[in-house]
Amino acid sequence: MASRSLSRLAQWCSRVFMVEINQKTEPIYFSLSSKPSAHNTELGALFGNGKLFSVYALCDDRIQSARSHAQLKNTLAENLPPGCELLDSAAFLPDIKSSLIKGFFLQDNSALSSAERAVTQLQEKGPVGLCVFTYTREENGQYLCSAVAEEPAERERKYYVIPAPAPQRHPSALNIRNSDVFYQMEDAYKVLQECCDIIPESKAVLELVTEQQLQSNNSHDKRFPVVVIEGLDATGKTTLTCSLQKALGAVLLKSPPHCLARFRQHFDAEPPLIRRAFYALGNYITAAQIARESSHAPVIVDRYWHSTAAYAIATAVSGREENLPAVGSEIYEWPSDLLRPSLVLLLSVSPEERLRRLTHRGLDKTEEESQLEINHLFRHKVDEAYKKIQNPACIVVDASPSPEHVLQQVLYLIRSKYNLQTQDHQ
């Protein structure tokens, strides 16, 4: 695991470091070497001036590591002086899955190296296993890296910073499996089991999952159609799903299911590993409900696995939209143990229309929904991730017309696929 294998600076030499100056430009990649590089000018944009640090929270326990990373980000953001840039950083083994370690790069342009004080304070009371690197510029234009370590010998050891080539796969996509998106119920279940000591609500969620699984009817006899309605918030999912329920005499379900509503706010505040495991388990509870209900009526579902995967992937994959893995990547594969719907419709409206509906609706938003408004790039990535998921893939529906028009369009789609009669003809 990260901390054991990275106790000494030498062990970091096999890794490449990535620092993203902002979401729109290519990140800067560098590594540590015992020999200088004659071509390190491209590092100037990052290492230009001032005191520089990388900080990584290292723990063997993945739950503690996820929480330490989140705490580290909050602590650094609260304590850094103006003029000090806090950038996302990562250390990874190029194109090796699950090798990503997330951290932070601090550019302290203030003369007083006040960031140094903030980092030292963190070092004293910080989360378990804080690993701090400092970077200094030599007269000859070379940059040196040393670790702020307890052992004096480690402190003396320095390595040259040299440019590294961009990897094939964007490093932020390396850890998605079982850290951001889950492809088996048991993998998500294990995460919440490991949280039980520190998050009491986890036990109640796991009991609900077990209870629903016991009630689930896994019989594969004839089922009525299961239609999932997906889309960004305020695209009209709630309005449409209610009308479809009436028009088709269908059962209306949603994910996360009502039985998890009371836990949601808590898990929305947890780091991605824990939060996404919560939403993944919500889909399995909803799947058990779909299995039962679709044996006697059509089922309409408001959000399901596409939402879980799209939001998780769009959050995990940093930088530009092009960094999203291509269609066909394993990260878009439907979980083999999760009930597949018959049809998934992705409601799509223009950003302007969506904002108009959001303001009109006036409901409060999840933090992530607020992000959707501020961060057009994040919203595009969610939308793109929805469309890359296959088996089943989404059918995009233009949801900008009136509610009645959208309903008729969707009923036509469903009927032409299933010759389902509407309620009034039954």
Ligand X SMILES: Nc1nc2c(ncn2[C@@H]2O[C@H](COP(=O)(O)OP(=O)(O)OP(=O)(O)O)[C@@H](O)[C@H]2O)c(=O)[nH]1
Ligand Y SMILES: Nc1ncnc2c1ncn2[C@@H]1O[C@H](COP(=O)(O)OP(=O)(O)O)[C@@H](O)[C@H]1O
Segment interacting with ligand Y (CB under 6 A) among 4-12, 66-74, 231-239, 316-324: 231-239
- Tokens 């039954």 appear where? 426
Residue 43, C-beta contacts closer than 8 angstroms, at least 6 positions apart: 28, 30, 143, 161, 163
Segment interacting with ligand Y (CB under 6 A) among 6-14, 135-143, 284-292, 354-362: 354-362
Report how far residue 27's alpha carbon sits from residue 12's, in angstroms, rounded to the nearest whole number.
Answer: 19
Partner whose binding site includes residue 403, from ligand X, ligand Y, none (CB under 5 to 8 Å by kind): ligand Y
Least distance to ligand Y from the beta carbon of 403, Å?
A: 4
Among 234, 285, 301, 346, binds ligand Y (CB under 6 A): 234
CA 58 to chain centre: 20
Tokens of 396: 């995009």
By CB under 6 A, what part of segment 347-386 binds ligand X? 366, 368-369
**What single letter denotes the amino acid at residue 328?**
G
Partner whose binding site includes residue 51, from ligand X, ligand Y, none (CB under 5 to 8 Å by kind): none
Q: Are the beta carbons of 359 and 399 closer than 8 angstroms?
A: no
Report how far residue 190's alpha carbon sits from residue 180's, in angstroms, rounded to the nearest whole number.
Answer: 14
Segment interacting with ligand Y (CB under 6 A) among 1-9, 214-222, 310-318, 396-404: 396-404
Residue 151, C-beta contacts closer than 8 angstroms, at least 6 positions apart: none
Q: How many residues does the chain have?
A: 426
Q: Does 255 bind ligand X (CB under 6 A)?
A: yes
Least distance to ligand Y from the beta carbon of 253, Å?
A: 14
Among 8, 158, 264, 357, binds ligand Y (CB under 6 A): 357
Q: Which residue, 196 or 413, is less far from ligand Y as judged by CB? A: 413
Residue 199, C-beta contacts closer than 8 angstroms, at least 6 positions apart: 192, 266, 270, 274
Q: Does 233 bind ligand Y (CB under 6 A)?
A: yes
| Burial class of residue 287 in the structure, from the number of CB atoms within 10 Å of its CB (0-12 exposed, 13-18 middle, 19+ buried) | buried
- The 3-state DSSP class for residue 374 equals helix
Task: Name the β-bridge partners of 204.
Answer: none
Q: Does 308 bind ligand X (CB under 6 A)?
A: yes
Tokens of 148: 């702020």
Segment interacting with ligand X (CB under 6 A) among 38-46, 72-80, 127-135, 301-309: 301-309
Among 65, 68, 239, 315, binds ligand Y (CB under 6 A): 239
Residue nearest to ligand Y (CB): 236
Among 311, 332, 334, 378, binds ligand X (CB under 6 A): 311
Residue nearest to ligand X (CB): 233
Binding residues with ligand Y: total (CB under 6 A): 15
Q: Which residue, 234 or 316, is less far from ligand X as judged by CB? A: 234
Q: Does 352 bind ligand Y (CB under 6 A)?
A: no
CA-closest candidate to residue 19, choices 114, 93, 86, 77: 86
Q: Which residue, 165 or 362, is less far from ligand Y as judged by CB? A: 362
Residue 210 vs residues 64, 216, 258: alpha-carbon distances, Å? 25, 10, 16
Among 175, 179, 235, 243, binds ligand Y (CB under 6 A): 235
Partner whose binding site includes residue 368, from ligand X, ligand Y, none (CB under 5 to 8 Å by kind): ligand X
Q: Cα torsion at 330, 174, 2, 121 (round to 10°)?
A: -140
Segment interacting with ligand Y (CB under 6 A) among 96-104, 106-114, 197-205, 236-244: 236-244
Segment interacting with ligand Y (CB under 6 A) among 107-115, 232-240, 258-266, 333-341: 232-240
Least distance to ligand Y from the beta carbon of 372, Å?
A: 11
Q: Are the beta carbons of 17 and 30 closer than 8 angstroms?
A: yes
Q: Does 267 bind ligand X (CB under 6 A)?
A: no
By CB under 6 A, what part of segment 133-192 binds ligand Y? none
Q: Does 307 bind ligand X (CB under 6 A)?
A: yes
Sheet of 251-254, strands arranged across? 251-254, 299-302, 226-230, 343-348, 395-398
Per-position x/- string for 201-240, each x denoting binding to ligand X as judged by CB under 6 A, each - no binding: --------------------------------xx--xx--
Query: What is the DSSP track for 331-362?
Result: GGPPPTTSPPPSEEEEEE--HHHHHHHHHHH-
- Interface residues with ligand X (CB under 6 A)? 233-234, 237-238, 255-256, 279, 302-303, 307-308, 311, 366, 368-369
- Interface residues with ligand Y (CB under 6 A)? 231, 233-239, 357, 360-361, 399, 402-403, 406
